[in-house]
């Protein structure tokens, strides 16, 4: 098992990816042992991810100025699908799994996710929480519904045969060609979800509230992966700190340090 982990390390997988793989293998053998299909020590025990594994790459988050050009250049229904990701934080499988019945009372209710064509439950229990549909999303969904002959039920994104539309196929066949023609770089569906958290953060929304919109199980996930601070944010933060120090009455003048004190 250690040799196998070391061999896939050479394929360029990041340290975090390797840790998830090790955790998955550990769980598989533990479950197999519980069910009586395997007897003996778990082969993933006492293995370790190589310290030479690649560091995790910084993930991307779309800011507001990047979202508008995508919405402008992308044709329907790709525009509406991307808008849902960018303005509600739904994952690609959750968008693919949406039914018209899930959109009601000004909210999008997440009840299922689609993975490789198979229907599953959302990622976590908290993922089933409804997400408010802001005006821009509501307007797009109303127009999208009319374009689809005003259905009251069934897949929100459907093929001509009435089956669920694959978001990956929509990306390859519709969205990417349109963005490439417009010279717009694509960073992935999840960059839209991360962008939502980052954009809300820049608007002053507290972390615990941001956590509830993409429906993370804990706030640490939100702050670690879904809130990206750009360099202007850092500069603004340090400017605020500088101003507070300057205005504080508790900060006295710095006296020079004598050689004896050193």
Would you list the DSSP string of the chain?
Answer: -HHHHHHHHTTT-BHHHHHHHHHHHHHHHHHHHHTTS--S--TTTT----TTSBPPPPP----HHHHHHHHHHPPTTHHHHHHHHHHH---HHHHHT-BGGGEETTEE----EEETTEEE--SSGGGGS-EE--HHHHHHHHHHHHHTT--SSSBSSB-TTSSBPPHHHHIIIIIHHHHHHTT-----HHHHHHHHHHHHHHTT--HHHHHHTTT-SSHHHIIIII----HHHHHHHHHHHHHHHHH-TT--PPPPPPTTT-
- Given a cut of 60, whether residue 224 has pLDDT beyond it is no
Predicted pLDDT at 16? 82
**pTM for the predicted model, two decimal places:** 0.67
- Given a cut of 60, whether residue 186 has pLDDT beyond it is yes
Q: Which of 117-126, 172-181, 216-225 has the highest mean pLDDT?
A: 172-181
pLDDT level of residue 60 (50, 70, 90 thresholds): confident
pLDDT tens digits for 144-158?
999 999 999 999 999
Question: If you average pLDDT over residues 7-11, what whole number do you get?
Answer: 82
Question: If you average pLDDT over residues 67-80, what whole number do you get?
Answer: 92
Question: If you average pLDDT over residues 129-156, what whole number do you get?
Answer: 91
- Given a cut of 70, whether residue 201 has pLDDT beyond it is yes
Q: Which residue has the higher pLDDT, 165 or 209?
A: 165
- Given a cut of 90, whether residue 95 has pLDDT beyond it is yes
- Given a cut of 80, whether residue 107 has pLDDT beyond it is yes
Among residues of the chain, what percentage have pLDDT more than 70?
74
pLDDT tens digits for 74-93?
999 999 999 999 888 898 99
């Amino acid at each position: 098992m250690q040799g196998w982990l070391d061999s896939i390390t050479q394929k360029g997988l990041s340290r975090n990816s390797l840790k998830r793989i090790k955790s998955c293998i550990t769980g598989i053998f533990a479950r197999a042992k519980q069910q009586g299909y395997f007897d003996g020590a778990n082969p993933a025990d006492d293995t370790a991810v190589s310290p030479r594994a690649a560091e995790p790459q910084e993930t991307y988050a779309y800011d507001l100025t990047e979202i508008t050009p995508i919405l402008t250049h992308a044709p329907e229904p790709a525009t509406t699908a991307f808008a849902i990701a960018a303005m509600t934080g739904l994952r690609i499988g959750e968008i693919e799994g949406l039914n018209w019945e899930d959109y009601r009372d000004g909210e999008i209710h997440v009840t299922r996710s689609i993975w490789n064509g198979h229907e599953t439950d959302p990622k976590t229990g908290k993922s089933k929480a409804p997400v408010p549909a802001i005006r821009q999303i509501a307007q797009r969904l109303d127009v999208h519904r009319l374009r689809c002959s005003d259905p009251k039920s069934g897949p929100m994104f459907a093929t001509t045969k009435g089956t669920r539309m694959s978001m990956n196929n929509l990306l390859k066949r519709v969205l990417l060609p349109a963005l490439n023609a417009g010279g717009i770089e694509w960073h992935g569906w999840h960059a839209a979800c991360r962008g939502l958290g980052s954009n809300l953060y820049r608007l002053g929304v507290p972390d615990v509230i941001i956590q509830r919109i993409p429906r993370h199980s804990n706030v640490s996930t939100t702050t670690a992966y879904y809130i990206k601070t750009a360099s202007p944010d850092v500069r603004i933060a340090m400017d605020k700190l500088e101003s507070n120090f300057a205005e504080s009455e508790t900060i006295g003048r710095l006296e020079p340090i004598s050689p004896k004190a050193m």
